[in-house]
Chain A
Amino acid sequence: MSWFIFKRLTSLIPILLGISLITFILLHLIPGDPAVAYLRASHIPPTDETVAALRVELGLNKPLYVQYFEWLGKVLQLDLGMSYVSNNSVWEEIVVHFFPTVQLTFASLIFIVVISLPLGMISAIYKGKFVDQFSRILAFVSVSMPTFWLGFLLIYFLSVKLDLFPVLGRGTLAHLVLPSLTLAFAYIGTYMRLLRASMLGNLNEPFVVYARARGLRQRLIVIRHVLKKSLLPVITGLGMSFGNMLSGAVIVETIFAWPGMGQLFVTSILNQDYPMIQGCVLFMGVIFVVCNLLVDLTYSFLDPRIRWEGEK
């Protein structure tokens, strides 16, 4: 097991280097000179002299590879530069905005797991019955309903009409309910159907017949034998969605005025705040990779076959 973890961790190094390289190059491919953008953001008219002076100051006149290594060296010390707009440290801005996103993500994850897994399981067991039909309709609604519309509907009915939850912003636990439910809703249908399909596949496996032939109770067969094996594809998907949500849900955060990563990212793009964009992209990339690593580790914990492959 420890060997497996070690192998996975070492394989991260080239991936992370790749992310840093792409992030760095991306910015140099974007049309527009960073120096000009900086001057505009600081309300200084970009004349030839001021631009040239700033290029020297920002190190933009050096060869690209030198710029890259200098930048990488700073990144490793968590120095992502200063925002052109607010003149704050990019790293600190990210940290401040990351926490609300983490909060939102975990709350959504709880909604997803609590709603979709039991429903998926029940609709597999009662295939074709009322529960199954109901969950099918719910799944269609969930995957086809636009997020912004659902968000507004929830605000209108639950906040404005019934006054159950606050409309906007962040603060109490009640503030968290509507945004996380909105974010979770689109995923609920997917995971419900995924678990159902996976369980139906496993319910007809010979190992289930043998379990029944040994006289095991139905509940034990469904939970210990079928569910555990059927969760594997769901876990993979959830891990990827988790990474997605952590990099910021732009629409949901905008609707509910949630001060998270998505908002930070969109604002920095609108302001052409290059160091901030760079920092956000890099950060999201790393988060995504780490989430995938966590999925792999969970997977190997749940499925011994993968663990043993690694040890061979």
Chain B
Amino acid sequence: MGQDPILTVDNLNVIVTTPYGVTQTVHDVSFKLEAGKVLGLVGESGSGKTMTCMSLLKLLPEKAKVVQGSIKFKNIDLLNVSTEDLRKVRGSEIAMIMQNPMIAFNPVRTIGRHFIETLRTHLPITKRQARKMAVEYLEKTDLPNPENVLKQYPFQLSGGMLQRVMIAITMSLSPSIIIADEPTTALDSTNQLQVLKQLDKLREEYNTCILLVSHDLGVIAQLADEVAVMYGGYIVEKAPVLKLLNHPMHPYTKVLLESRLGLTRRKIKVEKRESVSRPNLINSEKTCPFLERCEDADYTCSSYNLEFKEYEKDHLVRCVKSR
């Protein structure tokens, strides 16, 4: 606390044009990233997590557009910076770890080429120096036989190995921010733990801040300092990790936590209104996105303007019922 945030996202709104109409996938999202801290972004598929991440580096697909809000990195306004300046920020200042390592690498290029081209894009070094650096950083991620890994093609490595290669590439440019979009989803549990340890090491050694995106609360609980829960494009609750896990305020957060507890006790809780599908985001009016699935909903909800409520100083909830 007290230090200047490295990244400030304020009031971010993203819309997507589909053949069926215009959908808003990110609503009024605001958060800050501080050095050495990990912000967890949690929510189900389609809740707007990936869209939020992608808009930070202007990597949104063609159909999606940021319509409102600001993203400030140090003193750079990322939404209004020139393409060339933005390119320089990508990878070297703000790095990304992709969701599925198996398809993030070009199948017709070796790992070495991927690594070296990244280093040489941002640093004035020769191929040989870049190769040496690559070996060095691959060693740090405990990959066996780094020289050999560089000669391999992506399809010759396992998902876990590729994920560690991606972390090595990320580390090598010592960025101030790492966006890790579901870094463990495509991996089995042993590899998951390893990757999480790597990320933690990174944060400790380089004082990097991490935006950790996951639908898995277990992953978030391991690493995050603060958690933002997303639902239907909104951040519905934001709090330090322990507060959120121990005193969830938003009904959706409660459901999310319950489903996890249910699993650990070996009886899977089936959600009561399973017939209710995901929120229909197209042309919906500004109402609570969780309204239809909420157990506590009543007449007060429909007139709620979706302002954040401050439960405690650092615990924000977007629910009219919370008090």
Q: In this assembly, does B144 line the interface, its C-beta being within 8 Å of a C-beta of chain A?
A: no
B residues in contact with A161, CB < 8 Å: none
* A210–B87 touching, CB < 8 Å: no
A214-B169, A215-B121 known; A305 vs B96 contact (CB < 8 Å): no
| Distance between Cα atoms of A210 and B57 in the complex (Å) | 11
* B108–A303 touching, CB < 8 Å: yes
* A214–B103 touching, CB < 8 Å: no
A224-B109, A305-B155, A308-B156 known; A212 vs B90 contact (CB < 8 Å): yes
Q: In this assembly, does B6 line the interface, its C-beta being within 8 Å of a C-beta of chain A?
A: no
A-B contact pairs, 13 of them (CB 8 A): A206-B104, A210-B104, A212-B90, A215-B88, A215-B90, A215-B92, A216-B87, A217-B87, A224-B117, A304-B110, A304-B153, A305-B107, A308-B155
| Distance between Cα atoms of A207 and B108 in the complex (Å) | 11
Q: In this assembly, does A228 line the interface, its C-beta being within 8 Å of a C-beta of chain B?
A: yes
| Distance between Cα atoms of A40 and B57 in the complex (Å) | 81
Q: Chain B interface (Cβ within 8 Å of chain A)?
A: 57, 59, 61, 87-92, 95-96, 98-100, 103-110, 117-118, 121-122, 153, 155-156, 169
B residues in contact with A220, CB < 8 Å: 117, 121
A213-B98, A216-B117, A305-B155 known; A207 vs B90 contact (CB < 8 Å): no
| Distance between Cα atoms of A181 and B106 in the complex (Å) | 36
Interface secondary structure of A, over-half rule: helix
Tell me how many residue pairs across A and B have CB atoms closer than 8 Å.
78
Which chain B residue shows the least CB distance to A207? B106
A residues in contact with B153, CB < 8 Å: 304-305, 308
Minimal beta-carbon separation of B93 from chain A (angstroms)? 9
A209-B98, A214-B118, A215-B89 known; A204 vs B61 contact (CB < 8 Å): yes
Q: In this assembly, does A289 line the interface, its C-beta being within 8 Å of a C-beta of chain B?
A: no
| Distance between Cα atoms of A205 and B118 in the complex (Å) | 18
Range for the number of chain A residues in contact with chain B: 20 to 34
Q: Which 10 A-B pairs have the closest CB atoms?
A: A215-B91, A215-B90, A213-B96, A214-B91, A210-B104, A207-B106, A304-B153, A206-B103, A214-B118, A225-B106
B residues in contact with A225, CB < 8 Å: 106, 109
| Distance between Cα atoms of A303 and B108 in the complex (Å) | 6
| Distance between Cα atoms of A225 and B155 in the complex (Å) | 16
The residue from B91, B107, B108, B117 contacting A213, defined by CB atoms under 8 A apart:
B91
* A217–B98 touching, CB < 8 Å: no
B residues in contact with A143, CB < 8 Å: none
A residues in contact with B105, CB < 8 Å: 207, 210
Minimal beta-carbon separation of B85 from chain A (angstroms)? 11
The residue from B59, B103, B107, B169 contacting A212, defined by CB atoms under 8 A apart:
B59
Q: In this assembly, does A211 line the interface, its C-beta being within 8 Å of a C-beta of chain B?
A: yes
B residues in contact with A308, CB < 8 Å: 153, 155-156
* A206–B90 touching, CB < 8 Å: no
- Known: A214-B90, A305-B153; 4 extra A-B contacts, CB below 8 A, are A206-B99, A214-B121, A304-B108, A304-B155
Which chain A residue shows the least CB distance to B156? A308
| Distance between Cα atoms of A209 and B58 in the complex (Å) | 10
A206-B100, A220-B117 known; A229 vs B108 contact (CB < 8 Å): yes
Minimal beta-carbon separation of B141 from chain A (angstroms)? 17
A215-B88, A305-B153 known; A210 vs B96 contact (CB < 8 Å): yes
